[in-house]
Amino acid sequence: MTRRSLPVAVALAGLIGLLAVPAAAEDRIEKDLKLDPGGEFRLETAVGAVTVTGSPDPGAHVVITSRRKDLNELLTFRFEESPGSARVIAKKRHQSWFSHSDDGVQYEVRVPAETRLSIDTSGGSIKISGTRGHAKLDTSGGSIHVNDLLGDLDGNTSGGSIRLADVKGTIRVETSGGGIEGRNLDGTVRAESSGGSIELEKVTGDLDAETSGGGIRIVDAGGRVRADTSGGSIEASFTKGNSKGGTLETSGGGIEVSLDPEANLSIQASGNSVKTDLPLRVQGEISRGRLSGSLGKGGNTLSLHTSGGSVRIQGL
């Protein structure tokens, strides 16, 4: 062998050696639990990301995987089934083995579509789709994604964002570590964030949005709106015919509102400046930074206030 070919041979030998080392095997637990449509599925786990999907079939099918060595060495599992409910409980064997951000454990769950859900994880994200029933979701270490839910939703996360799409029911969501996004929400909505912006589109019911860390954007609000932010601007558009009013307030930016010119509202607005192109009947004195008037026949009050920007009121 020549001197020039020696490095190539060494490299090839090293590559073959690497290929010969077996990849870490994925550990897996698979379990079927009795659960009829209309029942409840509960999952309580010390760690792991959770995905739940609605199915036309009866029974709960649970698949748990780990990129670590052995699930039974990491967690203790208890599987329970009783008339109308199924439950999975997973606890750490050793408290020091996981951090809240660990994503080595995954739960893939399939349940009858007509199932109430209660999911609680201390170490991962939660995703649910295609279910029909009340969903209560809590995580200390990840995001929450909900799609195609027919039922009330209670969602809380300390460590991530919240995304919602095609939800019909009363919605209450809160995050301490990210923003909130939602579209096609048929019902009342309460959304609260301590660390991000809020963007909601096509909400049919009354809406309450509050954040300490970003702006608020609302598109096609069908009910009364309350929006409050300490850290950004507010942009809101109301659907045609919406005369329910509300309160929009910010300490850190401007406010821009789009209204149906044929709505009936009493409007109170204040800021560095207030501008409108709607035919308002102004009441009292007119000033650059304050406006009091009525749109159409008047009615419910729409209050707009900013300490850090201007207010603009325009037609749809």
Per-residue tens of pLDDT for the chain, all 316 residues: 444 444 444 444 444 444 444 445 579 999 999 999 999 999 999 999 999 999 999 999 999 999 876 888 889 999 999 889 999 999 988 765 544 445 589 999 999 999 999 999 987 999 999 999 999 999 997 999 999 999 999 999 997 999 999 999 999 999 997 999 999 999 999 999 997 999 999 999 999 999 987 999 999 999 999 999 987 999 999 999 999 999 999 987 999 999 999 999 999 999 999 999 999 998 765 677 899 999 999 999 999 999 989 999 999 9
Please give the structure tokens belonging to residue 69: 């060595």
Count of C-beta atoms within a 10 Å radius of residue 54: 22
Element (H, E) at 142: none
Q: How far is CA 243 from CA 133, 268, 281, in A?
A: 31, 14, 16
The alpha carbon dihedral of 110, 111, 112, 118 has a sign of negative
The whole-angstrom separation of Cα 226 and Cα 245 is 9
pTM: predicted TM-score of the whole model, two decimal places = 0.88
User: Token pair 């789009």 is at which residue?
Assistant: 258
